[in-house]
């Protein structure tokens, strides 16, 4: 196991030790039933669920269902059928090549201000937080301060994650804190239905970019970053799997790889294993795309995430920074760093 992989595993184990111990123990079985919960590990099973099994977007203890109840209404992508497809089409220009091109100068200004020459230690987390907040503000039309918006999205995600992920101990008052965090985020948005968009834009960015840079530095991949930053960005996003588990619910009976799924079953789609993040070289054709979902349930922001990371790697590659210190964030909704200090050698 390389130093980068060993260090990155610690991020998963710090935030949700029970969940990831369970996933590790069952990883070699494609599909595992635990009561009314199904763990979906294998890339083929993962693909079948996302492309063939009807999913309930508003079920209890799913990401969309929890967020919709906390914000008191419908959220972007919680719709069904044609309405869902229409929402994705409306957002596509913002997240596609034209949207990325429009956002790139903003990202560059933020990185230039934070990174400097890297002669002194730089914590990447505040830089990425502002980058994520500025992106979320642009996508939602919010005029809130980017850092304030990002922190509100972090709080909302962390509070609501506890509603649908296993925990060792009950958390008194967690429902109230989640509701207050969601309300705080919605107050910063022109349209509260965009809360899920802001949460996704901020939290996946904070989970992915600092960890990817740390991986690149620890495994000394700066030559690859200099030669082809977009390709390396895609590979690092597969290895880190920023959204490692997708909580969903079955809306109808189905069969996946010979395993019966019943309507109402809770589905924990293990994107980390479907992406074969534990392998340096994936063996499955869907692995590279798995961190962003597949088919009609693929993340429309995948290209934007790859472009953000590629730009960050391009900015850092000439300096070839080393990692001074990283600290996992135990309260974050997704596996992330609280601190990621880097410096030019």
Report pLDDT digits (tens) over 118-127: 999 999 999 9
- What is the predicted pLDDT for the residue at 74? 47
- For 218-335, strand residue ranges (E) read 245-249, 254-256, 259-261, 266-270, 322-328
CB atoms within 10 A of CB 83: 11
| Count of residues making up the chain | 345
pLDDT at 170 over 80: no
Q: In this predicted model, which residue has the larger pLDDT, 97 or 124?
A: 124
Burial 37-53 (b: 16+ CB within 10 A, else e): ebbbbbbebbbbbbeeb
Q: Name the token pair of 278.
A: 């534990």
Residue 75 has pLDDT above 70, yes or no: no
Q: What pLDDT, on the 0 to 100 scale, is given for residue 3? A: 86
pLDDT category of residue 171 using cuts at 50, 70 and 90: low
Task: Please say if the pLDDT value at position 286 is more than 90.
Answer: no
Work out the pLDDT band at 266, boundaries 50, 70, 90: very high
Would residue 154 be called left, alpha or beta, if left means φ above 0 and alpha means ψ between -120 and 50 degrees?
A: alpha
Give the per-residue pLDDT at 220: 96
CATH classification (class only), 17-321: mainly alpha
Residues 6+ apart with CB under 8 A from 296: 50, 51, 84, 85
Q: What are phi and psi of 260, to 5 degrees?
A: -80, 130
Strand order in the sheet with 266-270: 31-34, 37-40, 266-270, 245-249
Q: Spell out the residues 6+ positions from residue 301 whose beta carbon is closer than 8 angstroms to its own.
A: 95, 200, 201, 204, 292
What per-residue confidence (pLDDT) applies to 19? 82
Q: Tell me the average pLDDT across 218-246.
A: 95
Report domain extents, the chain.
17-321
The contacts of residue 82 (CB under 8 Å, 6+ apart) are none
How does the average pLDDT of the chain come out, rounded?
87
Q: How confident is the model at residue 231 (pLDDT cuts 50, 70, 90)?
A: very high
Residue-wise pLDDT for 176-200, tens only, equals 787 888 889 999 999 888 888 899 8
Q: Model's pTM, two decimal places?
A: 0.90
Q: How confident is the model at residue 116 (pLDDT cuts 50, 70, 90)?
A: confident
């Amino acid at each position: 196991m390389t130093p980068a992989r060993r260090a990155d595993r610690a991020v998963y184990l710090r935030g949700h030790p029970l969940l990831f111990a369970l996933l590790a123990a069952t990883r070699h079985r494609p599909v595992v039933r635990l009561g009314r919960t199904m763990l979906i590990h294998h890339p083929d099973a993962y693909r079948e669920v996302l492309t063939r099994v009807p999913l309930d977007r508003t079920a209890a203890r799913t990401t969309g269902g929890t967020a919709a109840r906390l914000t008191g209404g419908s959220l972007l992508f919680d719709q069904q059928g044609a309405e869902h497809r229409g929402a994705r089409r409306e957002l596509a220009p913002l997240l596609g090549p034209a949207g990325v091109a429009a956002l790139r100068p903003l990202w560059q200004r933020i990185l230039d201000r934070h990174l400097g020459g890297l002669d002194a230690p730089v914590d990447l987390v505040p830089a990425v937080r502002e980058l994520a907040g500025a992106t979320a503000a642009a996508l939602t039309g919010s005029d809130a301060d980017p850092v304030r918006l990002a922190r509100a999205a972090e709080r909302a995600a962390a509070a609501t994650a506890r509603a649908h992920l296993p925990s060792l101990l009950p958390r008194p008052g967690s429902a109230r804190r989640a509701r207050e965090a969601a309300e705080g985020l919605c107050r910063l948005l022109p349209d509260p239905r965009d809360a899920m968009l802001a949460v996704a834009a901020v939290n996946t960015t904070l989970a992915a970019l600092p960890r990817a840079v740390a991986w690149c530095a620890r495994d000394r991949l700066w030559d690859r970053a200099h030669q082809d930053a977009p390709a390396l960005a895609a590979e690092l996003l597969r290895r880190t799997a920023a959204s490692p588990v997708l909580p969903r619910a079955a809306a109808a009976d189905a069969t996946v790889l010979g395993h019966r799924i019943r309507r109402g079953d809770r589905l924990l789609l293990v994107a980390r294993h479907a992406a074969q993040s534990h392998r340096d070289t994936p063996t499955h054709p869907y692995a590279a795309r798995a961190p962003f979902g597949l088919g009609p349930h693929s993340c429309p922001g995948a290209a934007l995430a790859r472009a953000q990371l590629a730009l960050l790697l391009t900015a850092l590659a000439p300096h070839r920074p080393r990692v001074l210190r990283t600290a996992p964030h135990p309260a974050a909704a997704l596996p992330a760093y609280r601190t990621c200090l880097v410096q030019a050698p």
